[in-house]
Each structure stands twice: as C-alpha cells, then as structure tokens.
Structure 1
Amino acid sequence: MKNESVSIASLGVATPPYAVKQSEAETFLRNHYSKVLEPKSMSKMVKIFAHPSVLNRYIAVKDLECLVNEDPDSRIARFTEWAVELSSQAINNALVQAGITTGDITGLVVNTCTGYICPGISTYLLEKLGFSNNIRIHDLVGSGCGGSIPNLQICRDIIQGKRDEIVVSVSIEICSATFQMADDLSLIVSNALFADGASAAVLWSRPGVLRLVASASRCDTKYREDIRYIYRNGQLHNQLSLKLSAFASKTVARVVNDLLTPSGLKREDIKHWAFHPGGEKVINAVRDKLGIPEIKLQMTRDILAGYGNMSSPTVLFVLREILSKGVAPGDWCLIVAFGAGLSAHGFLMKAEG
C-alpha cells in the first residue's frame, strides 16, 4: 500500500541509566545460577557472552541483584514504572526535535510485548505528559521484536487524508521484566542479548525527515513455536529456535521483495538499510540471503553492540543512527523487523529535504 503524504517528522529514543557490560552480566549469572546449569550449558554460556557482537546493554534496574527472585507483583510494578518513564523521555525528545508540544498531538499508539497492564501504557503517558484526554489512543501487544513497524502502519493509517493529524508512535520494551534463567539454551541466549529501551516517532502529513512510501508484512505461523514468549508458572519465558536465522532471513527476504517489486526498485537502489539486530547469526543470514554489502549493515551491528536487542524499539535505534550520520534528500531507506509469530514487517521510506 502506497502513501506519499505521511512522513516521520522526528525520532527520539531513551534507555535506562544502568549500563551493563557483558562480562558483568556473565559474572552475575555465574554467581547466582551456576548450580542450575549443566557443565555443557555453562561452557556455552561463556562462549556466547564472550562474543564481541554485544558489548554493552542498558537494563531498567538499580543493579542486577534486583532480578534475583523478583516476584511477579514487583516485576509488573517495575515494568510499569520504567515503561512510562522511558516512553516519556523518548516522546519528549521527539517533540522537541519536531518543534511541537503535547498540545499539538492528536493520536498516540504504543506497542510492547514484555508486560501487560490494563489500562494500557498510553493512559499513563496521557496523564504524565499532559496530552489532551480526547486524543485517539491505542495499545498494541503481541508483535514481539517486529512491533514498531505495525505501529507505524497504524499511525500512517490514522493520519492518511487528514491534514491536521499529528500522531506519536511509541515502542517500549522492558525485556528485563521477562528475565528467567534455567538450563535452557533459549534463556541463556536471551540473557546475553536482550535489554531495555524506548523509541518515539512523530508522524504528520507534511514534509518531514522521511516520507513513508510503502509497507509490507508477512506472518509464517508454522514457525510460531520457534520465536515467542510462553507462560510457565504464570511468567513469561523467551523461546527461541536454534534455526531462527535460517527461516527468519527467508521471511525477511520476502518482505523486502514485497516492498521493492511494486515500486520498481532493486536492492542496489536502497541507500540505507535498517534491520532489527536480532543477533549476529540473524544479521549474517539476512545479509547473505539478500546479498547486501557488509558496509550497509554497519549501523545495525553498531546498535547491537552498544545496546543489545531491545526488542521492538531496536530497529528505530538503527534508523536514528542512520539519520545521525547524514541522509541526502531523495535517498531510499528500507527498515525491516521481525518477531513473534514468525512475523516480519518492512517500510520503504524516502528522505526529504
């Protein structure tokens, strides 16, 4: 679906202040969970945490000890507090960049997959930031790491054909609120990758930074059990297949083709690529499947190294990094993210002057 009238005006991000190096995270897990890990699992954990693809992450805790034996009530309270705080920071950042205030906003769409509260996060943001209580608000759940792009799709649809609409798209994940540890490779990998963060984009129907040209989505439900959260004893546990990189890259490639073919574009026409950095193996598989030059993936790898995988906001951290390095008017940009389902989503964008 094409739409040449809606643009991203600005993009803001936020992370918690507590930074964790991989060596610190490994020491924490070793100190508290060595008795639950078999020697083979411990050996794999050491190897995974030593990999240079992730160097630093930001976690919404005072210190890592807070994660030990955190009860469900404390966990959802921490999720709520930090989800609202980080979202607010990202929104304020984006509003300042766009030169507008909360009074200009007519809609707010928030997505998350790492915690559930009712009423949703949007209502807390309405109150905290002083948005009008009659703006249109939506809370989205269940899209996993790919959730920011369906969010943008909905924001675009709200604005389409309505000149005065200005909508804020917020992606917020407190992945540490789903922390679990057991003798399970999915959990070991998750604890080496995931982190916390928020992104906020202001969208409007006037020239901006990036014009939203076309979007595409695919959902391969046969892989549902390979990438998802599952409930055990009433708490979320991340479930990741060791074969994720192979089938995720195929679905991503189909979404890319769905975007480029109708637009008459080729892969070499895309100046800037922003992929969800789901991990080193996934990035490599996407690169090889699409035949993208390694240099085009540098921003994706930089975000993974400096922030880890923050789930849904992460691809917009990559996009923000691309914008910070400079984008020329007329440059084509393509962002793609994938997540639970298995679902993959993409947006074709064009830089504006």
Structure 2
Amino acid sequence: MFNENVSIASLSTVTPPYVIKQAEAEAFLAKHYASKLGPKSLARMKKIFAHPGVLCRHIATDNIECLVNEPPDSRITRFTNWAIELSSQAINDSLAQAGLTKDTITGLVVNTCTGYICPGISTYLIEKLGLSKRIRIHDLVGSGCGGSIPNLQICKDMIQSNGDGVVVSVSVEICSATFQMADDLSLIVSNAIFADGAAATVLWKRPGIFTLVASASRCDTHHREDIRYIYKNGQLHNQLSQKLPAIASKTVSQVVMDLLTPWKLKPEDIEHWAFHPGGEKVINAIRNELGLSESQLQPTRDVLARYGNMSSPTVLFVLQEIIRKSIAPGDWCVMVAFGAGLSAHGFLLRH
C-alpha cells in the first residue's frame, strides 16, 4: 500500500575535512577568551568540554584561528562557499546512490538557518551542478535545528502534485559562521556542541529505502525565547535556555503521538528512532518522556559523539546511521527534529 507514496531513494551526508577534538576546542577558547570569562564560567566550560557525549566535530575552515574576530563580510563569504561545496557533494553522492543523473531533478529545496544570502543557495547549486534552469526551487530559512523535516514535507508535496518527479532535499548548516564567545552559558554550551555539515536526500514516487508515511508539526511560540538566534551588534548569537530539555522533550512527545495515533501505533511498535541530538540532557529527557531504551537511542548518541550538533542536517545523519545498520522490510521508523520556535517536526517512515 505504501509503494504509491513518496519515498526516500537515497541519502548522503557530508562534513568538511577539518576535525577538532573537544580538548583542542577547549584549548582554543581558553587561549583567546579566558580573560573574558569569570571563574564560574571557566569551570563550567572545562566540565562541559570533558563530557564524553561529544568527542569531536567538523568545522568549515582550514584554520580555526580564523574564527577569532572574523569580519562579518568574511564570515558570510565563508558560509556561502562552504554551504555550496558541502551541498554539491551531498547532492552528487545522493544521485549516484540512486542511479540518477542531474538531468532527472525536477525540484530542489534547500534549508539553512546559519547564514542568509539572496539569491539563495539553490541558485548557486543550479549553477555549480549545471541543473536545469527550469526546475522548481525553494530556499527555507528560520526553522533552526528542525528545518530538515519541513523541507521533506515540502518535497513530498511537490512530488505528489507533479507525478513522477525527482526532488532533492538539502539541509546545510555552517554553525561556525555564527560563532560568538562571551561570559554567557548559552554561548559556552553552543561552542561545545555545534558543528558544520550537510545532507541531501533524493525523493521520488517509487519504492525506496523508507516511505514517507505521514508527518506532524507543533510550534509553541510561548517558548520562543528558550531556543533561538538573537541579533547583537548585527550578528547572530545562539540563545539556549536551561529549561530546554524539559520543554523540548514534551513537545517531541506530542509530535510522536500525533504521528502514531492515526495509524493506531504505539511507541513499542516502532523499531527505529531518529532524533535530532540536541545535547546529552535533551536526549535523556526524550528517553524518559517516551519510555525508550538506551539501544533505541544509540544511533542518536553515536552521531552526537562523532559529529556534534550540526543543526538541521543532524537528524538525517542519525537516519543514515539507522539505514547502515540492519533494517527489515516492514520496519517502522520515527524521525523527529526540533529547534527554534520552539518547534518540533516529525515523520513516520516505513521500510
């Protein structure tokens, strides 16, 4: 019954080559910003960076020293160049996996929240990859870490309204292009977990890896200030509330129920879970709220450890981790991402 629905034909994830371990990142911050941090913040920073939940991260630069006093113009140039490069790699890899060529693409949707350019990234990808100038394109901004799932929702709608089209979904974030440091716990935590990466998904109306069965979203604007970017002196600064684990876990739980109830499913019926790894405390809160086991959360924790939080592409890294392991015909998977707003978005998938 699901073969007539839109499915994921292939999925590719890409990171920049520069890798920094947590001890190196802490040393970098201490070298340049210790004089700006109070004793309490320095002690907190040491504890946060020593936590084994994140081991290393990929950063879109050849030299991390460029982050210190990076001029805004240089920063947006770095964002643009790396966003295009990583997105292009991910698209090419995903097309090759699906056995498709660029000429088959009828639509392209790109989401990001870590940089703004006009025209959007999609137009640069048309140029770099030599895509048809007549394909349908959309550039999405402002969805934060949850942005990849609204992207997939739009791609699904595009295909269902256009027969046998092939649509590519791209989530790309250069979180290092929003780097800031001050005596602020939000910034200390952000600089301990955020990283850069991209993911591209090829979608079509044929059998694939996972069928996009249903989606659900919730946005609780009452908690907007608990997770968002704010502008200070014309530059983005990440703002994270200490209440975030409790808030996010309840919203995620509501989205999960919105996905499962119409299909008469319960959490125990779901073989695979792909959550956005928003941090160790958030993962623990989701586990407790939904009553999941550690084994069900292992793909989420593994991605956080190896890559950190890359914002919107990260949940797709988790989904790829699940795909690489054993999935059986008929298996259910729930994918949920959450972020600025506070918003949470989910997809019910079936293999």
TM-score range for the pair, normalised by the shorter chain length: over 0.9
Q: Tell me the residue number matched to 2:223.
A: 223
Q: Tell me the residue number matched to 2:170.
A: 170
Displacement over 4 Å in runs of 4+: none
Whole-Å Cα distance in 2 between the matches of residues 315 and 4 of structure 1? Answer: 25
Instruction: Give the drift of 1:63.
Output: 1.4
Q: Tell me the residue number matched to 1:294.
A: 294
Whole-Å Cα distance in 1 between the matches of residues 228 and 343 of structure 2? Answer: 10
Contact 2:3–2:206 under 8 Å retained in 1: no
Q: Tell me the residue number matched to 1:74.
A: 74
Contact 1:3–1:214 under 8 Å retained in 2: no
Q: Tell me the residue number matched to 2:127.
A: 127
Q: Tell me the residue number matched to 1:248.
A: 248
Instruction: Give the drift of 1:162.
Output: 3.0
**Given residue 308 of structure 2, which amino acid in structure 1 is its aligned partner?**
G
Instruction: Give the drift of 1:201.
Output: 0.2
Q: Tell me the residue number matched to 2:199.
A: 199
Unaligned ranges ≥5, structure 2? none
Q: Tell me the residue number matched to 1:208.
A: 208
**Given residue 122 of structure 2, which amino acid in structure 1 is its aligned partner?**
S
Map 1:319-330 onto structure 2 (within 5 A): 319-330=319-330
Instruction: Give the drift of 1:4.
Output: 5.3
Whole-Å Cα distance in 1 between the matches of residues 3 and 341 of structure 2? Answer: 27
Q: Number of matched residues? A: 350
Q: Tell me the residue number matched to 1:159.
A: 159
* Aligned: 1:316 with 2:316: yes
Instruction: Give the drift of 1:164.
Output: 2.0
Whole-Å Cα distance in 1 between the matches of residues 319 and 176 of structure 2? Answer: 23
1:314-351 deviations in Å (ceiling 9; x for gaps): 00000001000121111001100000000000000000
Does the residue aligned with 2:36 lie in a helix, a strand or coil? coil
1:50-81 deviations in Å (ceiling 9; x for gaps): 00000010000111101001000000000000
Instruction: Give the drift of 1:163.
Output: 2.6
Does the residue aligned with 2:333 lie in a helix, a strand or coil? strand
**Given residue 123 of structure 1, which amino acid in structure 2 is its aligned partner?**
T
Q: Tell me the residue number matched to 1:184.
A: 184
1:156-212 deviations in Å (ceiling 9; x for gaps): 000015332100000000000000000000000000000000000000001111000
Instruction: Give the drift of 1:29.
Output: 0.1
1:69-103 deviations in Å (ceiling 9; x for gaps): 10000000000000000000111110000000110
Cα gap change, 1:309/1:223 in structure 2, threshold over 3 Å: closer, same or farther? same
Give the TM-score, by structure 2 length. Answer: 0.99
Cα gap change, 1:114/1:171 in structure 2, threshold over 3 Å: closer, same or farther? same
Contact 1:110–1:122 under 8 Å retained in 2: yes
* Aligned: 1:25 with 2:5: no
Whole-Å Cα distance in 2 between the matches of residues 237 and 162 of structure 1? Answer: 40
Whole-Å Cα distance in 2 between the matches of residues 143 and 4 of structure 1? Answer: 29
Whole-Å Cα distance in 2 between the matches of residues 164 and 254 of structure 1? Answer: 33
1:282-304 deviations in Å (ceiling 9; x for gaps): 00000000001110000000000
Whole-Å Cα distance in 1 between the matches of residues 306 and 348 of structure 2? Answer: 26
Contact 1:173–1:313 under 8 Å retained in 2: yes
Contact 1:162–1:205 under 8 Å retained in 2: no
Whole-Å Cα distance in 1 between the matches of residues 109 and 3 of structure 2? Answer: 19
Does the residue aligned with 1:345 lie in a helix, a strand or coil? strand
Contact 1:4–1:212 under 8 Å retained in 2: no
Does the residue aligned with 1:111 lie in a helix, a strand or coil? strand
1:195-244 deviations in Å (ceiling 9; x for gaps): 00000000000111100000000000000001000000000000000110
Q: Tell me the residue number matched to 1:271.
A: 271
Contact 2:175–2:310 under 8 Å retained in 1: yes
How high is the sequence identity, in percent, across the aligned residues? 75
Contact 2:3–2:205 under 8 Å retained in 1: no
Q: Tell me the residue number matched to 1:83.
A: 83
Whole-Å Cα distance in 1 between the matches of residues 4 and 343 of structure 2? Answer: 25
Whole-Å Cα distance in 2 between the matches of residues 326 and 17 of structure 1? Answer: 28
* Aligned: 1:96 with 2:96: yes
Cα gap change, 1:65/1:167 in structure 2, threshold over 3 Å: closer, same or farther? same
**Given residue 233 of structure 2, which amino acid in structure 1 is its aligned partner?**
N
Whole-Å Cα distance in 2 between the matches of residues 278 and 272 of structure 1? Answer: 18
* Aligned: 1:118 with 2:118: yes
**Given residue 53 of structure 1, which amino acid in structure 2 is its aligned partner?**
G
Unaligned ranges ≥5, structure 1? none
Contact 1:56–1:305 under 8 Å retained in 2: yes
Does the residue aligned with 1:277 lie in a helix, a strand or coil? coil
Deviates more, 1:158-167 or 1:213-222: 158-167
Does the residue aligned with 1:106 lie in a helix, a strand or coil? strand
